Amino acid sequence: MTTSIELLRNNPTEEIGIYIHIPFCIKKCQYCDFLSVPINGVIQDNYIVSLINELGNNPFQNPVKSIYLGGGTPSLLKPNQINTIIIHVNKLFKPISPEITIEVNPDDISETWIKEIKDIGVNRVSIGIQTFFDDELEYLGRRHNAKRAIDACKIISNYFDNWSLDLIFGIPFQTKERWKENLRTAVELSPSHISTYNLTFEKGTPLYEKKLKDKPDDDFCLDLYKYAEIYLNSNDYEHYEISNFAKKNYQCIHNLIYWHNEYYLGIGTGAFSFLGNLRCANISTIDEYIKYPGKKEEMDYLSDNEIKLETLIQHFRLSEGIHKKSYFNRFSTHIEADFGSALNNLIEKGFLEYNEGIYKPTAKGFYLNNEIGRQLIDCIR
């Protein structure tokens, strides 16, 4: 039985990020296909104990540069529960001034709670706003209203310089003027980071059945996306990843681990890990996870070519792209030898550009990013 402890022991020196999954929600949003379960009241301590047990008590040598509490709804945690988790991680690993992020919902937080989590050591907050219009929030199945969203952002900004705000575009009946107003409101609140996501209608979600009737036109959604890019860039937010904008020096370190295809450990129910050549996922049911914390339900051994491919696909989600030297330093082979024909073809078609050793996506490559992945996949078949 492979466990998280064994995974770390087999990769003792790799620098990692740690993702901690808190799978509980008071109410599941209409569009959400993440692993989450409903809960009434507070999160029980037995789940926190299982998170601790997944890692054991013996120290590891892995440096940790980020800790990310995601969900689900991590803001349902009590500050002392968050403190227990962070203390245990710090005891076992070699934190290198890690970014410590927690996702929050507007209706869960208070000024006291925010102050307490900052005192504990959390240094970044990501708040799921999605929209500042009440009827759109109701359509999405969110618990908060627009006034509460603004109040929550103001509380966070009083205590954190490093915080992120999520918005969703492409909501049925959302107009371009409403989207502009959402962006204006977000910029006025002055988060250091803004994420903009196109609403997706995923199978198994309540919204999926409404797809054919409600889904906005793709060209209209692209128009909203382009407007966000122009408007946020003009307000000093760098478009550093397809869906993400940040003020200078405020890119999300944890998410950059994913986009650089670096190593991470996922703890908690259904959490994914990537270490060495192994991608795996924890048990996805709460009761089984509590019995067997860290036991892997899925395991996928990746070939060198698969890791190279995923590394390129992820880097081409970033405006920085990838430098041929960094590719060589990681894989001891030249990027042109592995993907030269595909890279040249993508440059010819205007999806990528090359300058001074760096391959990076163009604006077209951002807008039609899936095409980059398809052509790179075809290259290694």
What per-residue confidence (pLDDT) applies to 31? Answer: 45
Residue 346 domain flag:
yes
- Alpha carbon distance 71, 24 (integer Å): 7
Share of the chain above pLDDT 70, in %: 90
Residue 28 domain flag:
yes
- Picking from 221, 236, 257, the residue at the C-terminal end of a domain is 257
Produce one character per residue of 198-227: b if its CB has 16 or more CB atoms within 10 Å, e if not.
bbebeeebebeeeeeeeebeeeebeebbeb
pLDDT at 102 over 70: yes
Query: Among 142-156, 202-216, 311-325, where is mean pLDDT lowest?
Result: 202-216
pLDDT at 301 over 60: yes
- Alpha carbon distance 359, 346 (integer Å): 10
- Alpha carbon distance 303, 299 (integer Å): 13
What per-residue confidence (pLDDT) applies to 201? Answer: 61
Q: 86: domain range?
A: 4-257
What are the tens digits of pLDDT across the range 281-292?
999 888 899 999
Residue 298 domain flag:
no
Residue 195 domain flag:
yes
State whether 216 and 333 are in the same domain: no
Higher pLDDT, 135 or 206: 135
DSSP H helical ranges for the chain:
4-9, 45-55, 79-92, 111-120, 134-140, 146-159, 176-189, 211-214, 218-234, 253-259, 286-291, 304-315, 324-331, 335-348, 363-367, 369-380
Do residues 99 and 254 make contact, with C-beta atoms less than 8 angstroms apart? yes
Number of domains in the chain: 2
Do residues 293 and 349 make contact, with C-beta atoms less than 8 angstroms apart? no
Residue 30 domain flag:
yes
pLDDT at 82 over 90: yes
pLDDT at 33 over 70: no
pLDDT at 229 over 50: yes
State whether 83 and 210 are in the same domain: yes
What is the band of 210 on the pLDDT scale with cuts at 50, 70, 90? low
3-state secondary structure of 57: coil
Residue 307 domain flag:
no
State whether 337 and 246 are in the same domain: no
Query: Among 95-99, 126-130, 255-259, 319-323, where is mean pLDDT lowest?
Result: 95-99
State whether 61 and 203 are in the same domain: yes
Q: What is the DSSP letter of 280?
A: E
Q: Which of 203, 194, 130, 135 is nearest to 167 (CA)?
A: 130
The stretch 34-52 carries a mean pLDDT of: 74
pLDDT at 199 over 90: no
What per-residue confidence (pLDDT) applies to 2? Answer: 82
The stretch 272-283 carries a mean pLDDT of: 95
What is the band of 32 on the pLDDT scale with cuts at 50, 70, 90? very low
pLDDT at 343 over 90: yes
State whether 235 and 322 are in the same domain: no
pLDDT at 23 over 80: yes
The stretch 218-231 carries a mean pLDDT of: 95
pLDDT at 41 over 70: no
State whether 232 and 359 are in the same domain: no
What are the tens digits of pLDDT across the range 245-271?
999 999 999 999 999 999 999 999 999
What is the band of 205 on the pLDDT scale with cuts at 50, 70, 90? low
Q: What are phi and psi of 156, to 5 degrees?
A: -60, -45
The stretch 112-131 carries a mean pLDDT of: 97
- Alpha carbon distance 194, 212 (integer Å): 29
Produce one character per residue of 146-166: b if its CB has 16 or more CB atoms within 10 Å, e if not.
bebbbbbbebbbeebebbbbb
What per-residue confidence (pLDDT) applies to 29? Answer: 45
What per-residue confidence (pLDDT) applies to 139? Answer: 85
What is the band of 44 on the pLDDT scale with cuts at 50, 70, 90? confident
Residue 144 domain flag:
yes
pTM of the predicted protein model: 0.93
Half-sphere exposure for 337 (CA within 13 Å, toward CB): 7
Query: Among 64-73, 200-209, 337-346, where is mean pLDDT lowest?
Result: 200-209
Do residues 269 and 35 make contact, with C-beta atoms less than 8 angstroms apart? yes
State whether 30 and 105 are in the same domain: yes
Residue 332 is part of a domain; what is its CATH number?
A: 1.10.10.920
Strand partners, 167: 130, 196
State whether 325 and 251 are in the same domain: no
The stretch 20-49 carries a mean pLDDT of: 69
- Alpha carbon distance 279, 190 (integer Å): 37
What are the tens digits of pLDDT across the range 155-168?
999 999 999 999 99
State whether 245 and 324 are in the same domain: no
pLDDT at 38 over 90: no
Residue 246 is part of a domain; what is its CATH number?
A: 3.20.20.70
State whether 243 and 320 are in the same domain: no
The stretch 77-92 carries a mean pLDDT of: 95
State whether 73 and 161 are in the same domain: yes
State whether 321 and 180 are in the same domain: no
Mean per-residue pLDDT over the chain, rounded: 91
Residue 269 domain flag:
no
Q: Which of 119, 113, 110, 208 is nearest to 152 (CA)?
A: 110
The stretch 118-137 carries a mean pLDDT of: 96
